[in-house]
Amino acid sequence: MAQLATAKEGGAVIKAASSSGRKPFRLSTLMSIVGTTPMIATAVGVFVICIIYSFVLSFTNSRIFPAFAAENFVGTDQYARLWSTGRWLISVNNIWFFGLLSIVANMTAGYLLAVFMDQRIKAEDWFRSIFLYPFAMSLVITGLVWRWILDPNYGIQATVRGWGFTEFAFAPLVNSSTAIYGLVVAGIWNGVGVTMAIMLAGLRGVDSEIWKAAKIDGIPAWRTYLFIVLPMMRGAILTAFILQCVGVVRVYDLIVAMTQGGPGISTQMPAVFVIQHITDRSNVGLGMAAATMMLLPVIVLLGVQAFAQWRANQVKEKA
Amino acid sequence: MMTTETLASSAVTGSRIEAGPRGAKPKTLTIARVGVYVFLILAALFFLMPLWVMVVTSLKAMPEIQLRNIFQWPQQITFEPWLKAWDTACTGRDCNGLKPGFLNSVKITVVGTAISIVIAALNGYALSFWKYKGANVLFGLLVFGAFVPYQVVIYPLIIGMREIGLFGTFPGIIIIHTIFGMPILTLLFRNFFAALPPELFKAARVDGAGFWQIFFQIMVPMAVPITIVAVILQVTGIWNDFLFGTVFAGRENMPMTVQLNNIVNTTTGVREYNVHMAATILTAAVPLAVYFISGKWFVRGIAAGAVKG
Amino acid sequence: MTQHSVSIRDLSLNFGNVKVLEHLDLDIAQGEFIVLLGPSGCGKSTLLNCIAGLLDVSDGQIFIGGKNVTWEEPKDRGIGMVFQSYALYPQMTVERNLSFGLRVAGMKKDEIERRVSRAAEILQIQPLLQRKPVELSGGQRQRVAIGRALVRDVDVFLFDEPLSNLDAKLRSDLRVEIKRLHQRLKNTMIYVTHDQIEALTLADRIAVMKNGVIQQLSDPHTIYNKPVNLYVAGFIGSPQMNMLHGTLNGDTFTAEDGTVIPVGTYEFTTPAAAGTKAVLGVRPEHIVLGDDVKRMPFTQEIEIEIVEPMGSDTLAWTKIAGKAVTFRVDSDVHLAVGQKLVVGFDPARGSIFNSETTNRL
């Protein structure tokens, strides 16, 4: 029965192994690789090689151009320097503060809006459009508009004072201790609609029989929303949360447009820090050390996520 | 005492209707209902306020702005700031307004969107139906890429682009947008194709169609809805980009957002807030138009784009 | 080897460490209607996909029409395939759906037209040719899907649960049509299903599968009446075969509660030593009552516990030899709960299995 497989001329089988069991290499597989060349280049070239390149650079004293000569390698000096640079320490503080505040505010407001939207209201589409339109606009525009609104001389503060409340003070951007709140307000204005949309989809996705059961049990609506429905929306919450996290780590445009890191260096953020050091401040080594630090929480988060998934799979297999 | 009405109905149903609640429960406007609307309307006012401020500021002349009432509708409407923002506003020495930036953004957005979507559709298709060895690893890397802060890869990309002579050129910025749009768009298309019945693909293979035939003749015609979502996502994404435009586009191809920021932050001369706001509206016009025209699709795009994890 | 339409030799398929098919052999004669039957996950669809060339096998060979097609592309294997979800190309009209494969192959226009119109005529879908799949009913879609296999003018048809998405009425209609089609075309047909009625009504031979292994390959009558093991016995037949556990001693079977059942009439395929633990299986319709009881080697007085009228017949639940048992009577026979009567059966019509090996004795 030892049948010799014949490779068809110009046909499908390009390389035929001699035993019947081995999987032949097919033309379509080749096409699949050819068709996804850009993906291969991006996945490997950008998301592996570029990251490694940045990582390696962080151990050098490169200034404007990459310097890989033996004498350029300075070990972990850049990291030591980074963590003693005031500008960076403030950046790190700011990103935590900004991130925590805006994520908590965003998620709370988003869920609240979603719950109110879920009350079989009239003109739902109108409200949805209004809550969501800021997201269509770039963060540069968001930043510029809010900078204008919060302008101490012509903005809200001046307007309200003009109405007779001469003591009214609302100009967070000019004060280095409050500027970051201005950023948070603008960020929420831009992004809360998305959270609302995701949460609303989550709410609508909850089995309607849960509502019927809660109604028959006489549980008030607010308790149902808070203690029954909210825990059931894990997917929507996680989605909104991850979206927010990615946005926070990347926050750059908003700061450039709104405060440029000021007043002073009070609203510096890691993303701005890195760009500044590879451009104006021409200290690539330090910039790359900072960039590596930015990647760290992402890797930790993804690691936790992967571990959670692995655990879930293990549990599933046992069941 | 019985009315003729109840008599008639009892004759039909054979039962008597007694006093007390009957029929549909009367609707009452409760305080809670009013509260819901008050909350939503207040929230809506907060969201609309910046748009209102933008519009009224852009229609005022500078003296009126100095009256310090940013909410007030202009006493005298002027379109001068709009013309200036479009045509003659200055960034440093150049005084051509936003016009060149608009054209650059159109070019970058159209070409960038087209190329990145074709590539992403192919990726998604290959990852769903023609997985080769290592394809899953590549996909994992790509998904990882969706979470990587741009700052981590931006410098190596600058060096790389410079090496191949594309730094600060039109093809350069297109490549950059293709790269950074790829993770999310590929995910979008992969999820779409993976949700199709696999039997469709099997049927096409039994019919003898190969990689490209199945893609172009079976898959592409079916992928129209997801392509619309991808177009919305990518058009707004590229148009609104600021970072890549600043770094990679170069002076010749400077997109509108970068130019807007430059105009607003030009420190020479008097700050013309009305021109700034007009310029801001002009820059926001395209994504806003996309948003209002696409309506529900936009929401779908966000939801689809959001399912990352 | 060449007289077989399809031959499968020592076929194995692994996904990583998971063995889906193991050393499978199957010969299918020209024009035969084979049904692969089993629960979901038994590997029947996987086997069909291997035959179609949609899955690469890990080991073994596949011959179609005497040609080794183990490494061939699906289109080069001389097969047509019909899927459960119909898998019609949604953006194409029925006509273009039917002709897609032929167009891909670069066939001449008039030949394509001839084949499409022949298929449309056979399946009576001529009026639908210009419609899109969404405008068709489920039954019509499945006809088109069959038509797509038909136009390929091939010797072997593969059906992957083609009727599972249809409602009960359409299912039985199309079942008859597939049978008619087979009688007209006389092609080899390999048909995967989990529905035993489809298997019993359509098949020349049924291959009952479990965990990637063919348990029994036989004509429907043998499969139903002489299952080779406990698994096949339990899988085929609704309601299930009644199983009594006990011990074999020559011509007697002693049930667990001590009831002695004479099995002298049973034809053993393999002799069983005295004291062998065994299972005696009796189909519900083989338990009789009334006058027929007198002819039965085994009788017992029982009490009716539950009565389920099914329309055409009636199922009754009771206990025989201490075990819950169902039996089927004509719907004219009136049974009442609590009623006592004598029933009996002939072990010759039943099956006896070794408890340990689960194989037929």
The CA R_g of chain A, rounded to the nearest whole Å, is 27
- pLDDT tens per residue, range C43-91: 899 999 999 988 888 889 999 988 899 888 888 888 999 998 888 999 8
In terms of CA atoms, which chain C residue is nearest residue B223? C91
What does the pLDDT read at residue B119? 95
- Mean pLDDT on C141-147: 92
Please count the structural domains in chain B: 1
Burial of C8 (0-12, 13-18, 19+ CB in 10 A): buried
Identify whether the C-beta of residue A260 lies closer than 8 Å to the C-beta of residue A23: no
Domain ranges of chain A: 33-75+271-299, 89-268
Location of each CATH 2.40.50.140 domain in chain C: 239-354
Kindly state whether residue B291 falls inside one of the protein's structural domains. yes
Is residue A245 very low, low, confident or very high in pLDDT (cuts 50, 70, 90)? confident
In terms of CA atoms, which chain C residue is nearest residue A16? C71
pLDDT for A1 beyond 50: no
The nearest CA of chain A is from the CA of B9 a distance in Å of 31
pLDDT for C1 beyond 60: no
User: C91 contacts in B (CB within 8 Å)?
Assistant: 221-222
Cβ neighbours for C259, distance < 8 A, ≥ 6 positions apart: C300, C320, C321, C322
What does the pLDDT read at residue A20? 43
- Mean pLDDT on A156-172: 85
Task: For chain A, list residues whose CB is within 8 angstroms of any CB belonging to chain C.
Answer: 1, 3, 5, 8, 11-13, 16, 20-21, 23-24, 26
**DSSP secondary structure string for all residues of B233-285:** HHHHHHHH--HHIIIIITGGG--HHHHHHHHHH--SS---HHHHHHHHHHHHH
- Mean pLDDT on B95-112: 91
Eight-class DSSP state of B17 = P
In terms of CA atoms, which chain B residue is nearest residue A51? B153
Amino acid at A316: K
Inform me whether the C-beta atom of residue C15 falls under 8 Å from chain B C-beta atoms.
no
User: C79 contacts in B (CB within 8 Å)?
Assistant: 206
Rounded CA-CA distance A130/B90 in Å is: 33
Say whether C61 and A1 touch across the interface (CB within 8 A).
yes
Rounded CA-CA distance C216/B243 in Å is: 67
Rounded CA-CA distance C259/B228 in Å is: 74
Among candidates C59, C70, C76 on the partner chain, residue whose Cβ is nearest the Cβ of A5? C70
In 3D space, the residue among B110, B99, B111 whose CA is nearest the CA of residue B254 turns out to be B99
- pLDDT tens per residue, range C279-319: 999 999 999 988 888 888 888 889 999 999 988 889 999 99
- Mean pLDDT on B71-81: 84
What does the pLDDT read at residue B117? 95
The nearest CA of chain B is from the CA of C79 a distance in Å of 8
Inform me whether the C-beta atom of residue C53 falls under 8 Å from chain A C-beta atoms.
no
Is residue A168 very low, low, confident or very high in pLDDT (cuts 50, 70, 90)? confident
Location of each CATH 3.40.50.300 domain in chain C: 4-234
Say whether A5 and C68 touch across the interface (CB within 8 A).
yes
Cβ neighbours for B144, distance < 8 A, ≥ 6 positions apart: A47, A302
Fold of C4-234: Rossmann fold (3.40.50)
What does the pLDDT read at residue B306? 53
What does the pLDDT read at residue C204? 94
**DSSP secondary structure string for all residues of C23-92:** EEEEEEETT-EEEEE--TTSSHHHHHHHHHTSS--SEEEEEETTEE-TT--GGGG-EEEE-TT----TTS
Please state the pTM of the whole predicted model.
Answer: 0.84
- Mean pLDDT on A135-147: 90
Identify whether the C-beta of residue A297 lies closer than 8 Å to the C-beta of residue A278: no
- pLDDT tens per residue, range C99-128: 999 998 889 999 999 999 999 999 999 999
What does the pLDDT read at residue A171? 83
pLDDT for B10 beyond 70: no
**DSSP secondary structure string for all residues of A210-274:** HHHHHHHTT--HHHIIIIIIHHHTHHHHHHHHHHHHHHHHH--HHHHHHTTT-STTTT--HHHHH
Chain mean pLDDT for chain B: 85
Inform me whether the C-beta atom of residue B5 falls under 8 Å from chain C C-beta atoms.
no
- Mean pLDDT on B26-51: 87
Fold of A89-268: MetI-like fold (1.10.3720)
Give me the phi and psi of C19, to 5 degrees please.
-90, 115
Kindly state whether residue B67 falls inside one of the protein's structural domains. no
Kindly state whether residue B48 falls inside one of the protein's structural domains. no
The nearest CA of chain C is from the CA of B113 a distance in Å of 25
Identify whether the C-beta of residue C311 lies closer than 8 Å to the C-beta of residue C287: no
Among candidates A50, A119, A284 on the partner chain, residue whose Cβ is nearest the Cβ of B153? A50
- pLDDT tens per residue, range B227-250: 988 998 899 899 999 999 988 988
**DSSP secondary structure string for all residues of B63-115:** HHHTT--TTSPPSS---HHHHHHHHT--BTTB--TTHHHHHHHHHHHHHHHHH
What does the pLDDT read at residue A246? 81
What does the pLDDT read at residue A226? 86
CATH class of residue range C239-354: mainly beta
pLDDT for B309 beyond 80: no
Say whether B207 and C100 touch across the interface (CB within 8 A).
yes
User: Mutate which of A15, A95, A148 to disrupt the B interface (most B C-beta within 10 Å)?
Assistant: A148
pLDDT for A242 beyond 50: yes
What does the pLDDT read at residue B6? 47
Say whether B123 and A242 touch across the interface (CB within 8 A).
no
- pLDDT tens per residue, range B16-33: 777 777 777 777 778 888
Inform me whether the C-beta atom of residue A162 falls under 8 Å from chain B C-beta atoms.
yes
pLDDT for A220 beyond 90: no
- Mean pLDDT on B110-125: 95
Chain mean pLDDT for chain C: 90
Among candidates B69, B157, B287 on the partner chain, residue whose Cβ is nearest the Cβ of A162? B69
- Mean pLDDT on B210-230: 91
Highest mean pLDDT among A245-259, A279-293, B100-114, C161-175 belongs to: B100-114
Element (H, E) at C279: strand C276-282
Rounded CA-CA distance B292/B277 in Å is: 20
The nearest CA of chain B is from the CA of A162 a distance in Å of 7
A–B CB contacts, 8 A cutoff, strictly below:
273
Burial of A55 (0-12, 13-18, 19+ CB in 10 A): middle
Identify whether the C-beta of residue B65 lies closer than 8 Å to the C-beta of residue B277: no
Kindly state whether residue B58 falls inside one of the protein's structural domains. no
Kindly state whether residue B86 falls inside one of the protein's structural domains. no
In terms of CA atoms, which chain C residue is nearest residue A5? C68
User: B50 contacts in A (CB within 8 Å)?
Assistant: 134, 145-146, 149, 189
CATH number at residue B120: 1.10.3720.10
In terms of CA atoms, which chain C residue is nearest residue A21? C59
- Mean pLDDT on A6-17: 36
Partners of chain B (3+ Cβ pairs below 8 A): A, C
Which tops the pLDDT comparison, A82 or A70? A82
Is residue B304 very low, low, confident or very high in pLDDT (cuts 50, 70, 90)? low
